[in-house]
Amino acid sequence: MNQIIIKNISIGDELLIGQVINTNAAWLGEQLSAAGFQLDSALTIGDSEKAILEAFNGCMDADLVLVTGGLGPTADDITKPTVCKFFETELAFCQEAYDNIVALFNRRGFQMSERNRGQAFLPKSCIYVPNNYGTAPCMWLEKDGVVFVFMPGVPFEMKGIFSDELLPRFTKRFHSVPYEKRVVMTTGIGESFLADKIKDWETALPNFLSLAYLPQYGMVRLRLSGRHEDADLLHQTLDTEIAKLKALVPEYIFSMEDQPIERVVFNLLINKGKTFATAESCTGGNLAHVFTLIPGSSEVFKGTAVTYATPMKTKVLGVPSTTIETYGVVSQQVVEGMAKGVRDLMEADFGVATTGVAGPGGGSAQTPVGTVWIAVASPKGLTSKCFNFGKDRENVINRATVAAFEMLRETLLLM
């Protein structure tokens, strides 16, 4: 049996003028994949009858159409009449929907408005699907064998209805094919070089598996995924192929799970009972920031000295001013002094330091914009490396952050 065709339509002017980023489509895609379905397309349109009718007509080759948005108390003036037009029906009072709205207002202790009462008028031919999360109705309609489901656009309501009510109905009604994915996180190698190294393996993959490269700030996420009626075979094949991949490029893989590098470092530190601190110049506190977003990071993170002003590298971190004068602020000698200095100052097991030129100003022929020195001080000594991360300030900061955590990870693995 073939996969059914599923399309998503998001309705809302706010999505098209960039006021709100559409996160519903990605969430639906993820949920559908995990349940053995596949989202084929996601279309965003504005609140207009013409656009809505065109979009509906464009979905008549699908089996299932998931529509989100256009049903709030101020937005449904256009959507609901248009739905009636398309399904050749009319609005009628729905007692079940009304009771749901009343119950919701009672629970929240708010007064109900006339506008909210209007939300209980639904297309006559629809099946009403309960919404326990808000006043907007969820509606199920069919036309020429195509199922259209209308959900509110508010993510938290949409997610609740989808999981509680809709997905169980979909799995009963439609055929699904088991899906599984694995993610391998790499760093230190560009997308195209990585692709070259694993080309033969990729070419030889069974045709029900596919590989995707997802590059981001000095990392490449590799996603190997597939669908197969035989879930066990799928699982075992993924095991085998992932093991082969791991053997091909072990030096670039920092995680066999879908997690950022700072999380890998956090887990290593927790397991080894070690602490670290950072001394940051060009990264301006970003190492500290991304690490402290992790709940519980205080267990292994001692602190940071952002020494943006040059004299602070001497005063706070103890890098001799003669070293700075002799070698320059962006140099191996200074970054090593910073790493060692912050390790001592913060009484940590590891000190990580960055100094560089994030740009757009401050570059020179010898030290162009994008140059970053990174060092790690450990109980066993010092490691340092020089990088060039290009011209964009934010990009330099983010890539230097990833590279610094990778150096700390490598150091931790040797301990």
Smallest separation, CB 226 to a second copy (Å): 12
Q: Which of 103, 256, 293, 415: binder of a second copy (CB under 8 A)?
A: 293
Smallest separation, CB 287 to a second copy (Å): 7
- Please say whether the beta carbons of 377 and 340 come within 8 A: yes
- Site map for a second copy, 373-392, x if CB under 8 A? ---------------x-xxx
User: Phi/psi of residue 385, each to 5°?
Assistant: -145, 155
Alpha carbon distance 92, 128 (integer Å): 12
Q: Which residue number, 89 or 221, has a Cβ lying nearer to a second copy?
A: 221
Q: Which residue number, 145 or 295, has a Cβ lying nearer to a second copy?
A: 295
Q: Which of 14, 208, 327, 333: binder of a second copy (CB under 8 A)?
A: 14
Give the residue carrying structure tokens 């065109």. 54
Site stretch for a second copy (CB under 8 A), options 26-34, 85-93, 123-131, 319-327: 26-34
Name 387's Cβ contacts closer than 8 Å, sequence gap at least 6. Answer: 356, 371, 372, 373, 374, 399, 400, 403
Smallest separation, CB 351 to a second copy (Å): 13
Q: Which of 33, 89, 176, 259: binder of a second copy (CB under 8 A)?
A: 33
Give the residue carrying structure tokens 């500290």. 288
Q: Which residue number, 225 or 333, has a Cβ lying nearer to a second copy?
A: 225
What single-letter DSSP state applies at residue 162? I
Instruction: Assign residue 12 a region (left: φ > 0; alpha: ψ between -120 and 50; beta: otherwise).
Output: left
Q: Is 204 in the site for a second copy (CB under 8 A)?
A: no
Beta-strand pair 39-45/91-93: unpaired
Alpha carbon distance 121, 80 (integer Å): 9
Q: Which of 49, 90, 142, 196: binder of a second copy (CB under 8 A)?
A: 196
Dihedral over Cα of 158, 162, 163, 165: its sign? positive
Q: In the window 224-243, what residues touch a second copy (CB under 8 A)?
A: 225
Q: Which of 3, 13, 231, 363: binder of a second copy (CB under 8 A)?
A: 13
User: Phi/psi of residue 376, each to 5°?
Assistant: -125, 125
Q: Which residue number, 344 or 410, has a Cβ lying nearer to a second copy?
A: 344
Q: Which of 80, 340, 343, 393: binder of a second copy (CB under 8 A)?
A: 393
Q: Is 400 in the site for a second copy (CB under 8 A)?
A: no
Alpha carbon distance 22, 197 (integer Å): 36
Q: Which residue number, 221 or 235, has a Cβ lying nearer to a second copy?
A: 221
Smallest separation, CB 73 to a second copy (Å): 4
Smallest separation, CB 85 to a second copy (Å): 19
- Site map for a second copy, 299-328, x if CB under 8 A? --xxxxxxxxx-xx--xx------------
What single-letter DSSP state applies at residue 375? E
Q: Which two tokens stand for residue 95?
A: 């007692």
Name 227's Cβ contacts closer than 8 Å, sequence gap at least 6. Answer: 3, 36, 38, 177, 178, 179, 208, 234
Q: Which of 27, 121, 201, 327: binder of a second copy (CB under 8 A)?
A: 27
Give the 3-state secondary structure of residue 1. Answer: coil
Q: Which residue number, 46 or 328, has a Cβ lying nearer to a second copy?
A: 46
Q: Is 178 in the site for a second copy (CB under 8 A)?
A: no
Name 131's Cβ contacts closer than 8 Å, sequence gap at least 6. Answer: 100, 137, 138, 152, 157, 160, 161
Q: Is 256 in the site for a second copy (CB under 8 A)?
A: no
Q: Is 297 in the site for a second copy (CB under 8 A)?
A: yes
Taking alpha carbons only, the member of 312, 342, 330 closest to residue 374 is 330
Smallest separation, CB 45 to a second copy (Å): 5
- Please say whether the beta carbons of 63 and 2 come within 8 A: no
Q: Is 210 in the site for a second copy (CB under 8 A)?
A: yes
Q: In the window 50-109, what residues touch a second copy (CB under 8 A)?
A: 51, 55, 58, 72-75, 107-109
Q: Which of 361, 366, 380, 414: binder of a second copy (CB under 8 A)?
A: 361
